[in-house]
Structure 1
Amino acid sequence: MEIPVINLEELEGEKRSTTMSLLHDACGKWGFFWVENHGVDEELMEKVKALVNKHYEETMKETFYGSDVARTFGGAVAEASNIDWESSFFYRHQPDSNLSDLPELLREAMNQFVKQLINLAERLAELMSENLGLEKDYIKKTFSEPYVGTKVASTQSAPIPRLFVNLGDQIEVVSNGIYKSIRHRVLADKNGSRLSMATFYNPGGDAIISPAPKLVYPSQYRFQDYLDYYFTTKFSDKAARFQSVKEMLV
């Protein structure tokens, strides 16, 4: 099976319906997908990657190799099975930022890069809201004001595989389980290192997260009332029937 690929350019033409269906299926069955024509400048992406690598080499690498973790590299695999091989640092973007600590070139490039990523995240949030039958800005409003940060990790040479976990729990909750939060796993390469950059678009700390009421089954209804309604609508769509019952209870 191949990872789904969502081409955002196709949302503008006759393939919009098909693309929206692909996105809905990817969110519901996979929990992740590739995005093409996403609006994030590719040259800027490469520039940020090069500057981040340079920053790691200059500020993090020596510290990591002097750590207790690095000294276990020559030890037995059995003794290293629970060791965290990751060397990482975290950039905060909003609501507060620590980018002032970075070299000027990296700071400027990262600011531009993250603005584009936020635009992409909010566009995808609108598309997911639409697919779920919610108001277009439902997820964006739920996450407001979002916390945005970027984790940069270098997984150094290690004698064993290393797993990373990154869950999208909040979307699974808001969608009432229609969209899935999956485990993000990374296999360390014993022959080299791996640089990853993950920008998180998270709800703000005070955001209240719960399933969208429109996506929750009706509750606390008298069965005979449901049965009376069912007999007049038994050949109709079940989701529409549940929605009608919920509206009857309001």
Structure 2
Amino acid sequence: MKVREKNRGERKKMEKFPVVDMGKLNTEEKTSTMEMIKDACENWSFFELVNHGISTELMDTVERLTKENYKQCMEQRFRKMVASKGLETAQYEINYLDWESTFFLSHLPLSNISEIPDLHHDYRKAMKEFAVELEKVAELLLNLLCENLGLEKGYLKKVFYGSKGPNFGTKVSNYPPCPKPELIKGLRAHTDAGGIILLFQDDKVGGLQLLKDGLWIDVPPMRHSIVINLGDQLEVITNGKYKSVMHRVIAQRDGNRMSIASFYNPGNDAIISPSPALVKELDETSQVYPKFVFDDYMKLYAGLKFHAKEPRFEAMKAMESNIPITTV
């Protein structure tokens, strides 16, 4: 009976997963749409965007070319890795690696797309176009968050800027069929280190889950949507008003799941700290998050990605005295 009640609870939460229609921001429904974004940021840290302005033709092209690239260039390498590590015959839970095939693209401050091997011309061109469109969506969202938080327009972009502009890059992943999904995660649970994450995920093969109220909740696949989630830096800047949440990918026995996650992050030398305007709202006993240089956080995160975020924040707080005083 308890299991059935839990499952009903999970289904109920799934039904309420926030889906934001960006097209309504230019209509009389803007207020309710902004309220939906606000609620999603405060209570979910995840939401799904539709009518976001990126053409469906471009998204279809990116999906087709990503899946073709995996079959032609990456599938055989992945199979060799699986065989070399004996993953198909694993008898115990694997906690040291993920069942995924990935490569990374950098867009800002410098692009490396021309340097990535095995990407043919059409794929490079499509990914460049897609990155430009995603950057627009990311910067629009940052301004919408500013509006909801009562911050001046452009505040978050300015904080992220540093001296050379934001870091913007894409992790292209495929999650092939896994013979033992009960023992191997597609991607182990973690919070994202950066700012705002924009995900174009497979609409046929699911697996992405977030942790909410102690339950793992499916992020529903939806054609031509962009899934948004908030990273650790927005938790710090909002002084905990918005929080990053643990999420993971469950490997599937059938189907190859495509995941294109783009990360709009602060520049390496950007100084991250709680917004003074949001700290003023608190009483003297309320927690204030640390102040740090983003690159220092990333160096720490590299070895602790799959651990709780709170010790990372504490470690950054211990380094605060080394941070120069600046105003934004």
Shorter-chain TM-score tier: 0.7 to 0.9
More helix per residue: 1 or 2?
1
Correspondences of 1:208-227 after superposition (within 5 Å): 208-217=271-280
TM-score with structure 2 setting the length = 0.63
| Cα drift, residue 81 of structure 1 | 5.3
2:25 pairs with 1:11:
yes
| Cα drift, residue 41 of structure 1 | 1.0
Tell me, in whole angstroms, the C-alpha distance in 2 between the residues paired with 1:157 and 1:209.
40
Asked if structure 1 preserves the Cα contact closer than 8 Å seen for 2:191 and 2:232, the reply is no
2:222 pairs with 1:201:
no
Amino acid at match of 1:178: K
| Cα drift, residue 193 of structure 1 | 2.3
SS in 2 for 1:198: strand
Could you list the per-position Cα deviations for residues 61-95 of structure 1 after superposition, in whole angstroms to 9, with x for gaps in the alignment?
11111125565243143164544211111111111
Could you list the per-position Cα deviations for residues 187-241 of structure 1 after superposition, in whole angstroms to 9, with x for gaps in the alignment?
11022321111011111111111111000047998xxxxxxxxxxxxxxxxxxxx
Amino acid at match of 2:262: T
More strand per residue: 1 or 2?
2
2:174 pairs with 1:154:
yes
Could you list the per-position Cα deviations for residues 10-53 of structure 1 after superposition, in whole angstroms to 9, with x for gaps in the alignment?
11122111111111110000001011210111110110111111
Tell me, in whole angstroms, the C-alpha distance in 2 between the residues paired with 1:218 and 1:12.
30
Residues 166 and 56 of structure 1: CA distance in aligned 2, closer, same or farther (over 3 Å): farther
Tell me, in whole angstroms, the C-alpha distance in 2 between the residues paired with 1:129 and 1:220.
22
Correspondences of 1:157-176 after superposition (within 5 Å): 157-158=177-178, 159-161=180-182, 162=185, 163-164=187-188, 165-167=190-192, 168-176=231-239
Amino acid at match of 1:174: I
State the partner residue of 2:145.
128
State the partner residue of 1:59.
73
State the partner residue of 1:105.
122
Amino acid at match of 1:194: R
Tell me, in whole angstroms, the C-alpha distance in 1 between the residues paired with 2:274 and 2:255.
43
Q: Radius of gyration: which is bigger?
A: 1
CA RMSD, aligned part only? Answer: 2.0
SS in 1 for 2:136: helix
Q: What residue ranges of structure 1 are gaps of 5+ in the alignment?
A: 222-250
TM-score with structure 1 setting the length = 0.82
Residues 148 and 81 of structure 1: CA distance in aligned 2, closer, same or farther (over 3 Å): closer
Q: What residue ranges of structure 2 are gaps of 5+ in the alignment?
A: 1-12, 193-230, 285-328
Tell me, in whole angstroms, the C-alpha distance in 2 between the residues paired with 1:219 and 1:18.
26
Asked if structure 2 preserves the Cα contact closer than 8 Å seen for 1:157 and 1:190, the reply is yes
Asked if structure 2 preserves the Cα contact closer than 8 Å seen for 1:87 and 1:154, the reply is yes
Once the two structures are aligned, what percentage of the paired residues are identical? 43
